[in-house]
């Protein structure tokens, strides 16, 4: 899931509803900028430990495949990307086009804080899901750089891919209100789990 930059001026609405997260579905998809990639990595029960990789542009990526769910879950810098594997079960394929819920945990180091609950949007143009909301301090944040030096300094900051320990994905449920879905990261059974460290 490589090569696509996240949109910077998009927003989503999330608010708590009795222990659940309500997601108002925005017309503009908030995506993490993770496109297609080769199959690889290992799932929660795999023999290989997931590896943090850095490409030539400095993008930090770590990914895991949840074989049971048939989903590749990847953190690319501060965004989350999810795609169905070639052998994904029909139940997973049936979710394509649907909004998912996400929840990530971090190692508590270097001030990087993973978001406890966030929306994961279907991206039709890439045939996958993505979210730029996986990092807590990125929620509602717009980045403006006054110079190339400021941008380079910001790019050098610690990223979620370096500190994420686990992410879970959840199916969402309609609330009965138009364009609103909900999930509960504390009590719902995860659709998929990725253990990175």
Confidence (pLDDT) at 34? 43
Write down the pTM of the prediction: 0.72
Task: Please tell me the predicted confidence (pLDDT) of residue 174.
Answer: 83
160 falls within a domain: yes
Q: Which domain holds residue 95?
A: 13-195
Per-residue pLDDT, 48: 74
pLDDT at 75: 96
| Residue 159 located in a structural domain | yes
Q: Which tens digits make up the pLDDT trace of 44-85?
A: 444 478 999 999 988 999 999 999 999 999 999 999 999 999
3-state secondary structure of 121: strand
Q: Is 80 within the bounds of a domain? A: yes
Question: Would 6 be classed as within a structural domain?
Answer: no
Report, as ranges of residue numbers, the positions in the chain whose pLDDT lies below 50: 4-19, 24-47
Measuring CA to CA, how many Å separate 112 from each of 40, 89, 165, 166? 26, 34, 12, 14
Asked whether residue 179 is assigned to any structural domain, the reply reads yes
> How many domains would you assign to the chain?
1
Check residue 144 and give its pLDDT: 67
Residue 76 forms part of a structural domain: yes
């Amino acid at each position: 899931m490589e090569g696509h930059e996240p949109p910077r001026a998009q927003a989503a609405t999330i608010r708590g509803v009795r222990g659940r997260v309500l997601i108002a579905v925005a017309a503009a998809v908030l995506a993490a900028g993770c496109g297609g990639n080769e199959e690889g990595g290992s799932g929660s029960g795999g023999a290989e430990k997931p590896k943090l990789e850095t490409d030539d542009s400095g993008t930090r990526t770590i990914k895991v495949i949840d074989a049971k769910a048939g989903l590749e879950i990847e953190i690319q810098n501060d965004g989350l990307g999810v795609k169905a594997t070639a052998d994904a079960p029909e139940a997973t394929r049936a979710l394509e086009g649907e909004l998912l819920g996400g929840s990530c945990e971090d190692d508590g180091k270097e001030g990087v804080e993973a978001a406890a609950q966030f929306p994961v949007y279907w991206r039709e143009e890439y045939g996958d899901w993505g979210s730029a909301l996986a990092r807590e301090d990125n929620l509602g944040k717009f980045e403006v750089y006054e110079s190339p030096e400021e941008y380079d300094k910001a790019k050098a900051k610690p990223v979620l891919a370096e500190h994420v320990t686990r992410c879970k994905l959840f199916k969402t449920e309609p609330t009965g209100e138009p364009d609103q879905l909900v999930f509960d990261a504390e009590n719902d059974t995860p659709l998929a789990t990725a253990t990175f460290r």
